Amino acid sequence: DAMVIQNPRYQVTQFGKPVTLSCSQTLNHNVMYWYQQKSSQAPKLLFHYYDKDFNNEADTPDNFQSRRPNTSFCFLDIRSPGLGDAAMYLCATSRSRVTQYFGPGTRLLVL
Amino acid sequence: DQQVKQNSPSLSVQEGRISILNCDYTNSMFDYFLWYKKYPAEGPTFLISISSIKDKNEDGRFTVFLNKSAKHLSLHIVPSQPGDSAVYFCAASDGSGTYKYIFGTGTRLKVLA
């Protein structure tokens, strides 16, 4: 089945220790997104790729970076995680505006 | 400033009755809207969409209504089933071509058997 896969599902890291979350898709969609969602809040768009074009949201901290080495894979790098970065991180893909397909998310815990 | 608002954090409905989930937006440039359903420990799943050129879209038990003048949309689920218990998010996009969506904070629906 075509899908959006996120690994790992749960990630524990230490304060200040870099961490990378990964997302892969078999849908061959040209747009990939990273969202941060904290408890009882709306998913917040961090950035998205339209093909290879990277689009950063104005309020995304510099601590968050992303890489998209090819159509199928996209990575979220948190260079120095703080306690406030503990959240669910959602990856999504789309081919058009009609809809986005989400992965199951990675829950990040920062100790 | 929250451009997409879901003012009811939770809603309980009896099985078989209608569930109505509401969403308000402030940006008049929004022209495409999505509803998502999210179960615990899963990503959001697309439910139904509506374009601003329409005021209603129906898919089985799910109907979305759009009132552009009031900047309001609602999702109706009829009849409600226990399996519909989840968090529902509305999301809005403008026509700028960025393929970006702004999400509301979600409404937790509980359908009582």
Closest by Cβ to A104, choosing from B43, B46, B104: B43
Determine contact: A81 vs chain B, CB below 8 A.
no
The mean pLDDT values, 10 residues at a time, for chain B of 113 residues are: 90 97 95 94 92 96 97 97 97 83 95 94
- Output the six-digit token pair for B62: 């799910």
Residue A98 is predicted with a pLDDT of 78
- Which residue shows structure tokens 């702004």? B102
- Domains of chain A in sequence order: 4-110 (2.60.40.10)
A100 to chain B, minimum CA–CA distance in Å? 7
On the CB side of B56, CA atoms within 13 Å amount to: 4
A47 to chain B, minimum CA–CA distance in Å? 9
- Domains of chain B in sequence order: 4-112 (2.60.40.10)
Residue A2 is predicted with a pLDDT of 63
B90, closest residue in chain A (CA to CA): A42
A34, closest residue in chain B (CA to CA): B100
Checking DSSP bridges between strand B10-14 and strand B107-112, what pairing results, if any? parallel
CA–CA distance, A20 with A8 (Å, rounded to integer): 9
SS3 A49: strand
CA–CA distance, A44 with B77 (Å, rounded to integer): 26
- Output the six-digit token pair for B16: 């078989």
Residue A1 is predicted with a pLDDT of 65
- Which residue shows structure tokens 């959006």? A4
**Residues in B touching A50 (Cβ below 8 Å):** 98-99
> Residue A42 and residue B89: Cβ atoms within 8 Å?
yes
Taking CA atoms, A106 is separated from A23, A35, A49, B70, in Å, by: 9, 11, 19, 37
SS3 B84: helix
SS3 B82: helix
Residue B25 in contact with residue B94, Cβ under 8 Å? no
- Which residue shows structure tokens 């226990």? B82
Determine contact: B40 vs chain A, CB below 8 A.
no
Closest by Cβ to A99, choosing from B41, B49, B104: B49
| Cβ neighbours around B66 below 10 Å, total | 19
> Mind listing the pLDDT tens digit of every residue in chain A (111 residues)?
669 999 899 999 999 999 999 999 999 999 999 999 998 889 999 999 999 999 999 999 999 999 999 999 999 999 999 999 999 999 999 988 778 999 999 999 999
| Cβ neighbours around B90 below 10 Å, total | 29
- Which residue shows structure tokens 């898919």? B59
